[in-house]
């Protein structure tokens, strides 16, 4: 493990959005990193961050960031750092993030733009840190920098919970129904009026992301440059509901052998992940918490477990169709977005993968 001797300067792309705000808050006072630059769209550039941002998190904008000038999302505009964390929308992320990687930056992305590229790691540190080996393929292609991604906000909690079950018992098939918070749609998502007395049974692209990303995360490295997806059939049904934060998921899973709920719970509670010994600053003590009450987890009560980085599981019971069924909850803008990207950044720093200044 490599611990930075000095705090590494980091830029945030898409800094004015909801995930960008979460990233800024998480990086404030971080022991390994410091905010060196904030970048956003042309609507915000040239203004101070305090002027350009509609701050929606509790408390005030960190004073050190409020006076920083918002820069364009261009490599030449981010002097003073070679590492960026991106919360850009998928419509612009591929071009912008690719330009930064081509200019020698390490790009840690929360966007979906590169997640399915065969040489781009899609990483949850506790689950598949070895997938970072795919960075070598990006470098061998002549790209001076690289891109590493974290999963979709619904996939993160699902993969975190299924990984120990897959390793212990083998997962064959998964059916998941998500009840996703409005914050998952960002600042431009549905209004309160849209969600009052309502559930939206469609989130564009979400079901496909769950079905494709889960098998890549739970897959195995096949040489240095590619990931062989896991042979798991996945069906997803996604809904937007009127909770503020926290994605609740009802999961039925077919395993390769008969397993009691008690065995599954013991496996989940014993899971510490592949990087526990690194003591990454954002890593929770327990990646998974299991509740035994019949009505938990609940978003309002359980989304902040482990500082928002712990997935909470409940109602583990037999399934009359598959092997087991359970409920899981994860904080979508922390564990599923900003916190996931920051944890990947910490893992890269610990492995000495970040470029020298």
**Residues 28, 30, 35, 41: is their CA dihedral positive or negative?**
negative
**SS3 category, 279:** coil
Residue 63 CB coordination number (10 Å): 9
* The one catalytic residue among 153, 166, 238, 331: 153
Beta bridge partners of 236: 176
Known active-site residue 30? no
| Residue found under tokens 């020698």 | 104
**Helix or strand run (H / E) with residue 22:** helix 18-27
* The one catalytic residue among 131, 166, 247, 331: 247
3-state secondary structure 92-133: HHHHHHHHHHHCCCEEEECCCCCCCCCCCCECCCCCCHHHHH
Alpha-carbon gap, residue 28 to 86, rounded angstroms: 16
**SS3 category, 292:** coil
Known active-site residue 153? yes
Nearest to 122 by CA among 105, 106, 110: 110
Based on DSSP, count helices (H) and strands (E) in the chain, helices before strands. 11, 14
Alpha-carbon gap, residue 183 to 25, rounded angstroms: 16
- Residues labelled catalytic: 153, 247
């Amino acid at each position: 493990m490599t611990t930075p001797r000095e705090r590494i300067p980091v830029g945030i792309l898409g800094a004015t959005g909801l995930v960008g705000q979460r990233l800024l808050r998480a990086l404030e006072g971080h022991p390994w990193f410091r905010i060196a630059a904030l970048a956003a769209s042309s609507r915000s550039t040239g203004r101070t961050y305090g002027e350009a941002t509609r701050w929606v998190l509790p408390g005030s904008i960190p004073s050190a960031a409020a006076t920083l000038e918002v820069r364009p999302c261009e490599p030449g505009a981010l002097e003073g750092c070679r590492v960026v964390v991106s919360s850009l929308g998928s419509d612009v992320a591929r071009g912008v993030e690719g330009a930064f990687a081509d200019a020698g930056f390490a790009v840690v992305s929360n966007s979906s733009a590169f997640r399915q590229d065969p040489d781009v790691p899609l990483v949850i540190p506790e689950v598949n840190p070895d997938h970072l080996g795919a960075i070598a393929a990006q470098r061998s292609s002549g790209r001076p920098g690289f891109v590493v991604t974290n999963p979709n906000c619904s996939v993160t909690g699902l993969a975190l919970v299924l990984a120990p079950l897959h390793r212990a018992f083998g997962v064959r098939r998964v059916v998941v129904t998500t009840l996703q918070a409005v914050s998952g749609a960002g600042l431009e998502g549905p209004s309160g009026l849209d969600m009052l007395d309502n559930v939206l049974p469609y989130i564009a692209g979400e079901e496909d992301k769950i079905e494709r990303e889960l098998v890549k995360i739970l897959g195995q490295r096949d040489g240095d440059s590619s990931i062989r997806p896991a042979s798991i059939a996945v069906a997803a049904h996604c809904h937007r509901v009127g909770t503020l934060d926290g994605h609740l998921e009802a999961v039925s899973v077919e395993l390769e052998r008969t397993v009691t709920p008690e065995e599954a719970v013991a496996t989940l509670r014993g899971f510490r992940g592949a990087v526990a010994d690194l003591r990454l600053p954002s890593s929770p003590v327990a990646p998974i918490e299991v509740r035994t009450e019949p009505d938990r987890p609940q978003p309002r009560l359980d989304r902040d477990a482990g500082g928002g980085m712990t997935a909470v599981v409940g109602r583990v019971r037999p399934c009359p169709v598959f092997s087991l069924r359970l409920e899981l909850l994860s904080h979508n803008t922390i564990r599923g977005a900003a916190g996931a990207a920051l944890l990947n950044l910490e893992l890269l720093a610990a492995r000495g993968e970040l470029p020298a200044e």
